[in-house]
Amino acid sequence: MSGKSSLPRWIFLIDILAGICAIFFVYLMVYIEPSLAVHSSATLTTIDYIFYASFVVLTLTSIALGGDYMISKRYSRLTDISLVLRSVIIAFVLLVSSAFVLEDFIVSEFHEFSRPGILMLSISFALMLLAIRLVAHHTQVRLFSSGSWRRKMVIVGAGPQGVKVYDHLQSKNWLGVKCIGFVDQSASKSPVEGAPLLGRVEDLATVVLDQDGEEIVIALPPEDHILMEKIVNNGVRRDVKVRIIPDSFAYPYSEINIQEYDGLAMIDVKQTNLDAMHSGLKRFMDILLAIIMLIIHSPLWVITVLLIRTTSKGPALYRQTRLGKDGESFEMLKFRSMVEGAHEMRNNLKRNNEASGPIFKMKDDPRVTRTGRLLRRTSLDELPQFLNVLQGDMSIVGPRPPLPEEVGRYQSHHLKRLAVRPGVTGLWQVSGRDRRDFEEMSRLDLYYIENWSIRLDLKIILKTVPTVLRREGAY
């Protein structure tokens, strides 16, 4: 693991140690002045320590959600001060509110929380966190200035704007970026010495891979917005940061973030909120909900299997190859709702396709069995997909899982749908799946990817229940 990627992890571990030190500081103050404990024992109890540990966990969770432990983190004094103070205040308010509730309804008979203790813990922990970040910022600047830990950047566009970006970043190496070269659609040679022309725009993905590129800055003229769109949607790996010089900005992304590099403004293209921590949280939710759903619906499995096996020939479970995250293929499970050999019959029905784009859909599909029609109307045919969720191939919420032949007909901007695990449900399902054409479905999927949050997932899950009960769009 490189130093620049491990620094945020070290900061996280040091923050935990700071939390322990802050609790120990409160312990020492109570030892010196027992009246601070408030309650009769004149010392901190196990309940107090659990209470204070909860404060530390809440604060660090809020800091993590603010992106402070991300691998690509650049420590900024003003940003970090704001994030730390906001996180401490949130945790403090929650802790004090919890103290009132617990004292009134649960521990009122034998315990009272020390308000001075909570205040001392909050102030001491905040000061430690701020000191840690000031040291981290100073350390990063020194290492960047010495040429260490700098992130490799490829500049797209060898025109005047690209040269301006190169000159600015080269003269301010303490910003932590090393320009390794240019890609351009028409230039025959590099516009500057020391940074070669690495290829054409269509070679960008290969160039980034070969050169171990970590960031891309797009410095193209506004009229090249089509090229810009292709780069953002499928030009590079998801772990590569894409930035745009404002003069080039001509594409309506759902959300942007302005980053300032000592006088040079760049637009961060928001691709997905699912960093390592959020992915882990989403995966935990997936496993938990999948287990609950499988247990709740286990009686229906027996009934459904018996219905399928007694009303038509063939197995009860149907396996179909679909493409998941990063285009990896997997076997998606469903209760069989069609006659055997249905997929092979599809070519003869293409002229009756009622869907737009690369997907195939028929309201009165002759391949669907009588039992299958019931399963589809009630969405019971999709229950086995919770096994795919447990296996890690799918998520509870996500884009619709595509067939390989559908992906073969995708346009460049559709490929971003493969950036996350496909879902059992999604925005496309709760927003009128039978009334949406393929482009609308894709826009909903891209919106979900770019704006993911736990709150959005829960909202979609809650909306799925009435959608299924009303049988909307299911046939």
Q: Which residue has the tokens 């769109």?
A: 229
- Cα separations (Å) of 136 from 20, 229, 233, 247? 19, 36, 33, 33
Q: Report how far residue 135's alpha carbon sits from residue 131's, in angstroms, rounded to the nearest whole number.
A: 6
Q: Report how far residue 153's alpha carbon sits from residue 415's, in angstroms, rounded to the nearest whole number.
A: 23
Report the run of H or E that residue 179 belongs to, with start and end: strand 177-183
Q: Report how far residue 227's alpha carbon sits from residue 159's, in angstroms, rounded to the nearest whole number.
A: 15
Helices of type H across 253-369: 276-296, 298-311, 342-345
Q: What is the pLDDT of residue 40?
A: 45
**Do residues 123 and 131 make contact, with C-beta atoms less than 8 angstroms apart?**
no
pTM: 0.55
Q: What is the pLDDT of residue 220?
A: 82
Q: What is the pLDDT of residue 14?
A: 93
Burial of 30 (0-12, 13-18, 19+ CB in 10 A): buried
Q: Specify the 3-state DSSP secondary structure of 437.
A: coil
Q: Report how far residue 122's alpha carbon sits from residue 25's, in angstroms, rounded to the nearest whole number.
A: 11
CA 122, 125, 127 angle in degrees (round to 5)? 105
Q: What is the pLDDT of residue 256?
A: 47
CA 341 to chain centre: 38
List the one residue out of 160, 448, 397 whose CA is nearest residue 285: 397
Q: Report how far residue 95's alpha carbon sits from residue 391's, in angstroms, rounded to the nearest whole number.
A: 38
Q: Report how far residue 218's alpha carbon sits from residue 250's, in angstroms, rounded to the nearest whole number.
A: 12
Q: What is the pLDDT of residue 237?
A: 57
Helices of type H across 66-177: 77-105, 115-145, 160-171
pLDDT tens series, the chain, 475 aa:
444 556 777 888 999 999 999 999 988 887 777 665 544 445 667 777 888 899 999 999 888 877 777 655 555 677 788 889 999 999 898 888 887 776 565 555 555 667 778 888 999 999 999 999 888 888 877 777 666 667 888 988 888 888 888 888 877 766 778 888 998 888 888 888 878 899 888 788 788 888 888 888 888 877 676 677 667 665 555 567 788 876 654 444 444 455 655 556 666 666 565 666 678 888 999 999 999 999 998 889 999 999 998 888 888 998 999 999 888 899 999 999 888 777 667 667 766 666 666 666 677 777 888 888 888 888 889 999 999 999 999 999 999 899 888 888 887 667 778 888 999 999 888 876 555 677 778 888 888 887 888 888 988 998 888 888 776 655 5
CA-based max dimension of the chain: 86
Q: What is the pLDDT of residue 390?
A: 94
